[in-house]
Amino acid sequence: MTTHIELLSTHIQEQVMQSHALTSLPLGLAIFGSARTEPSHADFKDAYALAALAARNNVPVISGGGPGIMLAANQGAFENNGIAIGLNIALPHEQHSNRFQTHSLMYEHFAPRKMAFVSHSCAFAVYPGGFGTLDELFEVLTLVQTGKSGTRPVVLVGRSYWSGLVEWIRDQVKTRGMISPNDIDMIQMVDNAQEAWAVLHVHLQEHMVPTQLRVA
């Protein structure tokens, strides 16, 4: 039977081995979202557009390497001559690696994969998604809140999808004192790729990327 210590050791080893392949690359933009989003969906097209903006400004794009929004992110970067990183994971359903990856890593466990997202990203864009997307979102928020990572923008794309969650955090979690009053400020909501980039490019320009960034 695998012990907690053995599992932790496995996660650490996996993280170190996989992350070594990305150490020579600049920090990038992580794009999260549902694996079930079809290419014909507006969210897919918008995620593609955001990734394309990042690629044209020399910002690596990092996704989970699978279908849906992950595919849109990798494809948008790849087809615009950018760095398209896929942090793939072996799953019995949904996940299969997309072909639009300049750098493809495979993980067996979620924990080191999420660590890699945070370690190699300086900004996060989150499109509508399910439990996996929510897990990634709250992992990032927790690490930023607790100071385990630097201040990094977290942009939720799609107000109609995310506003209920943000209102619940504000009305319940914040009001009941479960988070500090300014913790809610970590989250910004926008409606599309252009609005997201207007928020993200400022941080990328000031903190992480030395090249000149274009707003559009």
- 213 occurs within a structural domain: no
Per-residue pLDDT band for 24 (boundaries 50, 70, 90) equals confident
Tokens of 170: 């504000």
Q: Is the pLDDT score of 95 beyond 80?
A: no
- 84 occurs within a structural domain: yes
- 53 occurs within a structural domain: yes
Task: Return the pLDDT at 211.
Answer: 40
Please state at what angle helix 110-119 crosses helix 4-19, rounded to 10 degrees.
40
Q: How far apart are alpha carbons 54 and 84 in whole angstroms?
A: 10
Q: Is the pLDDT score of 46 beyond 50?
A: yes
Closest among 159, 208, 150, 216 to 188, alpha carbons compared: 159
Residue 120's domain comprises 26-208
Tens-place pLDDT, residues 58-80 = 999 999 999 999 999 999 999 99
Q: How many CB atoms sit inside 10 A of residue 165's CB?
A: 14
pTM value surpassing 0.85: yes
Q: Return the CATH number at 102.
A: 3.40.50.450
- 5 occurs within a structural domain: no
Contact 65, 41 (CB under 8 A): no
Q: How many CB atoms sit inside 10 A of residue 142's CB?
A: 11
What is the domain count for the chain?
1
Q: Is the pLDDT score of 2 beyond 60?
A: no
CB-based contacts of 92: which residues, under 8 Å, 6+ apart? none
C-alpha to C-alpha distances, 60 to 66, 137, 159, nearest whole angstrom: 17, 19, 25
- 15 occurs within a structural domain: no
- 123 occurs within a structural domain: yes
Percent of the chain clearing pLDDT 90 (strictly above): 69
Task: Return the pLDDT at 215.
Answer: 47
Give the mean pLDDT of 140-165: 94
- 126 occurs within a structural domain: yes
CB-based contacts of 133: which residues, under 8 Å, 6+ apart? 32, 33, 34, 126, 127
Q: List the beta bridge partners of residue 186.
A: none
- 12 occurs within a structural domain: no
